Amino acid sequence: MSDKFERFVENLQKKIIKKEIKEHNERIVDLCYNPQNWGKPQKKDITVYEEMRGAPKNYLLGLYLKIKDGIILKANFITDGCGVMIATGSQTTILIEGQPIEFAEKLTVEDIDKALMRIPSEEVHCLDLAIKTLKKSIEKYKQLG
């Protein structure tokens, strides 16, 4: 590609990111473009998982947990949702990784929202889906005995 075209693309991307930060915030935009813990691990690296869809946009969120002795050693996620859903899934895994199940069990919508520096009110459904998926994963883990 030509240098002129590459500069055009680079400047356009900067404008898009600047607009997204204004509409959301730096934390959400960073986790959207650079999600942590993205991807479905191999079956041998999953102790328990849950995949749920949530209203109103019917997004999928999959949470995959590797747990040993009641500690969440690794947490991964996938989603087919928007940037805020990506950031929410990522932030949820960041908060619970390395923590005991009891910590994850007490995690709230407000905890994730605070860590994301507040999401827009029209995107709260992303937080709800993350908490529901996490709680269902924990229920499954407890049933394993």
CATH code, 94: 3.90.1010.10
pLDDT band at 1 (very low <50, low <70, confident <90, very high): low
Look up the domain containing 28 and give its range: 3-143
For the beta sheet containing 48-54, the strands, ordered from the edge strand earlier in sequence to the opposite edge, are: 48-54, 59-68, 71-79
Which range is least confidently modeled, 11-15, 51-55, 106-110, 139-143? 11-15
pLDDT in tens, 104-124: 999 999 999 999 999 999 999
Question: Facing residues of 62 across strands?
Answer: 51, 78
Residue closest to 96 by CA, chosen among 81, 77, 83, 82: 77
pTM of structure: 0.91
The stretch 25-40 carries a mean pLDDT of: 96
Number of domains observed in the structure of the chain: 1
- As a whole number of angstroms, the distance between CA 141 and CA 118 comes to 30
